[in-house]
Chain A
Amino acid sequence: MATITTPAQQRAIEMNNLARKQRSLWGDAFWRLRRNKAAMLGLGIIITAALLAIFAPLIAPYDPIIQNTKAANADPFFAGTKYVDSNYLLGSDQLGRDILSRLIWSSRISMVVGLVPTTLVFVIGASLGMAAAFYGGWVDNLLMRFTDVIYAFPDLLFLIIIMATLRNTALGDLMGGLILMFAALAIVSWVGLARLVRGQVLSLKEKEFVEAARATGVPTRRIMVRHLFPNALAPVIVSLAFSIPGAMLAEATLSFIGIGIKPPTPTWGVMINEGFIVFAQSPWPVLLPGFCISLVMLAFTFLGDGLRDALDPRMKN
């Protein structure tokens, strides 16, 4: 039937509308993210924490491990009690260690604990997920059953078992328990990402442009990397953005129970654990690291939400 505008006209109109807000998918998302104040605030906090982490040895006034029992249990300068010691800005814990320094050094561990397992999760999960989706058949089936089992295992439970049982072995001693922590977090979390990636690739596999690439003789692996990968990326990015605080929280929880990072290495979770013992006398050794970890978690949540909103294609106009 006859229509008012020809296809050529419609295309011109579409293209012009697009040109009025002339951006690519990534540019568009980036611009939207920048407009999101909460996300930018979060990013700012994360960058600050990262800087603190990197320059910890230069910034922290004291060594976080050395004890000085004579100066123990001082309060932070703003507490207004008589236990304030001017040497220790945020007070000292029951072993006389400077809380401020410990907080700064803790950000190092926490950042690393957030990033390293997430990277491992990405590498393992994404490659397995892509392989499963692309090769299909028994490879896919095997992976799916495997992930079903791991999925059924409650995360925290799995972590607790791994940490508790392997903590006192040689593996657990590497780098003060960090290597084990990385491994445990990665093992428990890769499943979710693998499934996500597999789902994305499966839905993309059906799309026409894979046919087109195949028809022009592009080899299989190149199809996977060049064509499927970038399009599946958006939800993966969001998932990774939320993985980082997830890993940090898990480490803090495990350290709080006492089966996480080994003392005297400071992490916020470890500090809360130690502070819990004396908190009836003074809440500060608990509240200060608690505040730090909450702040960083909040920052990542804002950023993650912002990324999700920015990359969601449905939100276009």
Chain B
Amino acid sequence: MLKYTIRRLLLIIPTMFFVAAITFGLSRAAPGSPFDRNENRPLSQAAIDRLNRLYGIDRPIPEQFAIFIGNAVKLDFGSSLVRDTPVVEIIGRGLPVTAQLGVQALLLSLAISLPLGVISALKQNSAVDYASLFFATIGYTIPSFVIAIFLIFIFAVDLKLLPIVGWGDLRHMILPTVVLALGPAAVLTRITRASMLEAIRQDYVRTARSKGLREQVVVVGHVMKNAMIPVATIVGPVTAALITGSFIIEQIFSVPGVGRLYLVSINQRDYPVIMATTLLYAFLIMVANITVDIVYGVLDPRIKLAN
């Protein structure tokens, strides 16, 4: 178990390297420099050239990459080309916001989906079951931005209950969190329900009943313990989806998080910010997946002891 974990953690390094290389290559593949298309302060070609030289953008790409890696290892990602503040600082301002949004959405989706999935499995074909299947299908098939716009229309425009943009207090946080949570909640509900249905059909459930245990004890102590394992492993990809989903949500609701920063910086060709945020996201997702694998190993004794 330990060896496996260490191996996964070590794999992060070469993976991050390649992620950086690909991102670097692609972002430099776009023609022009970040100083070109700037409607606010149109610059003369000479000024642009000077800035390019200053920021090292005119040097050959492999050389730029080497410099970048050299600095990145020291966690020095330079300064934003647009805002002239250290990248780390800019990200530092946006990260807590995104983190809060993400964690809230994750908790909300778990709080909805786990009970819903369990109950609808236990009461198959009941009203609750159909309702939860309906909800799961909606959340899964309708794109998040469509739901977002729809909810904005109802709550913000029509009923004027909630604000559309901004972040800070509860009223601002409700819509973005709910919309972000819906997709994962839908997936988790389906998986939980399917997993419970599968587990409850197993032979060991019959054995448990044959010992005279109450149905409640059978469900919680025997069925759920097994059923939750596949659910736990899905939390990894779900978290990854949450992280990427937050881009769109932050864009729509103008939440000042890292996602919106990312999209803006891509438009502006703000290379240092692009690189740093890409690496950050890749890192977070890898950590999420590794954590899930570890948790899975802990929960399922067949895996825990096999290693």
Contacts and interface: CB of A to CB of B under 8 A. Distances in A.
A152 B15 contact: yes
Contacts, number: 110
A168 B282 contact: no
Nearest to B274: A161
B22 A283 contact: no
Contact of B26 (A161, A287, A290, A297): A161
Given A157-B281, A280-B157, A164 B267 contact: yes
* From A154, A167, A256, A290, residue with most partner B Cβ within 10 Å: A154
Interface in B27-59: 27, 29-32
* From A162, A245, A294, residue with most partner B Cβ within 10 Å: A294
A62 B251 CA distance: 33
B141 A297 contact: yes
B142 A294 contact: yes
Determine the main DSSP class of A at the interface with B.
helix
A153 B20 CA distance: 10
Interface of B: 11, 14-16, 18-19, 22-23, 26-27, 29-32, 137, 140-143, 145-146, 149-150, 153, 157, 240, 243-245, 247-248, 251-252, 262-263, 266-267, 274, 278, 281-282, 285-286
A294 B143 contact: yes
Given A154-B282, A165-B29, A294 B146 contact: yes
A297 B22 contact: no
Contacts of B18: 149
A156 B259 CA distance: 11
A276 interface: yes
A283 B141 contact: no
A257 B246 CA distance: 13
Interface of A: 148-149, 152-157, 160-162, 164-169, 245, 249, 252-253, 256-257, 259, 272, 276, 279-280, 283, 286-287, 290, 293-294, 297-298, 301
A280 B16 CA distance: 42
Given A152-B286, A165-B26, A253 B145 contact: yes
Contact of A153 (B143, B247, B282): B282
A257 B248 contact: yes
A83 to B, nearest CB: 17
